[in-house]
Amino acid sequence: MFLLRRTETRSTAMSHAAHSAPDEQPLISMGFLLRTMAVIAVLAVLTVAISIGGRWFGRHISLAGNTDSTADITLAIGRDTVKFPENAIRFPSQRHDGAAERVDLYLAWPEMQGYGKENHIRFDDIGQSSGLIFLQLTQSTMSRDMSGRLEPIYSHLLEGPAEPFRDGLTLHRLRADAGYGDEVLLTAPVKGGPDYVVRCILPSAPDKAASGDCQRDIKVGRDLSVLYRFSSSHLNDWEHIDAAIRIFVEARLMNRSATSP
């Protein structure tokens, strides 16, 4: 009997030990803690990355291809070398130093400045783009600019009498078969130089003027052709615009000594 009780007592003690063993294990294992800490660290890194990336992405979406950087870009176009600020160069693909067939610029008028915080609305809002002037610089392929082509070319494409326009300009209509569509030719005498000549698609009403419905080209430097477009709503400033563009480009020529007078 005594042996039986001892056996039962030992069996009961072993049973209690077996049931109490799991209770002695920690509630949270070290492996679980390490995994949890790793997940938290990854989430923290992702949060920072999303925050930084979101700001970067948001900024680039708002710029929509524009830049407010004023770092100089040096370009060799034909026999001329020019230097323009990045924010004046219209297309991102052209914002690098080196040789180029052409460069496209856009400038706020009348400040003659590229994209910036103060004037960004004129670049971002198409409804206000009439406040911009668009330029395209290439190596000249013709010996004469638009003023020089008046007599040898344009004069043979006109029809009907010349009509007084406004702001010292005279309107000439182009023949339907001349290939210029709805464009008209506007001219004005310039003291000490050839006549001013510009082609425009005149709007039906002043408030319907487009951002680049007038265009003209001039020669600058050794061999640069500067084609520029502006809104017909600025025709009253035609003389100032022409002078400002010439000054803007000439001031950024690396070979200024070769600039035509």
Predicted confidence (pLDDT) per residue in 136-172, tens digit: 999 999 999 999 999 999 999 999 999 999 999 999 9
Instruction: Encode pLDDT of 205-236 as tens digits.
Output: 888 898 999 999 999 999 999 999 999 999 99
Rg from Cα positions in the chain: 37
Confidence of residue 4 (pLDDT cuts 50, 70, 90): very low
Please tell me the pTM assigned to this model: 0.75
| pLDDT at residue 126 in the model | 87
For the chain, report the end-to-end CA distance as a whole number of angstroms: 131
Per-residue HEC secondary structure of the chain comes to CHHHHHHHHHHHHHHHHHHHCHHHCCCCCHHHHHHHHHHHHHHHHHHHHHHHHHHHHHHHHHHCCCCCCCCEEEEEECCEEEEEEHHHECCHHHCCCEECCEEEEEEECCCCECCCCCCHHHHHCHHHHHHEEEEEEEECCCCCCCCCCCCCCHHHCEEEEEEECCCCCEEEEECHHHCCCCCEEEEEEECCEEEEEEEECCCCCHHHCCCCCEEEEEEECCCEEEEEEECHHHHHHHHHHHHHHHHHHHCCECCHHHCCC
- Which tokens belong to 243? 């002078």
Q: Percent of the chain having pLDDT more than 70?
A: 75
In tens, the pLDDT along 92-151 reads: 999 999 999 999 999 999 999 999 999 999 999 988 899 999 999 999 999 999 999 999
β-pairing, 214-220 with 224-230?
antiparallel
Give, in order, the Cα–Cα distances in Å from 92 to each of 65, 99, 102, 127, 170: 6, 15, 13, 22, 39
| Amino acid letter, 123 | F
On whether the CB atoms of residues 260 and 246 are closer than 8 A, the answer is: no
In the prediction, which pLDDT does 217 show?
Answer: 98
Token match 């007078």: residue?
261
Give φ, ψ of 50 to 5 degrees. -65, -40
- Asked whether residue 27 carries a pLDDT value surpassing 90, the answer given is no
Residue 7 confidence (pLDDT): 45
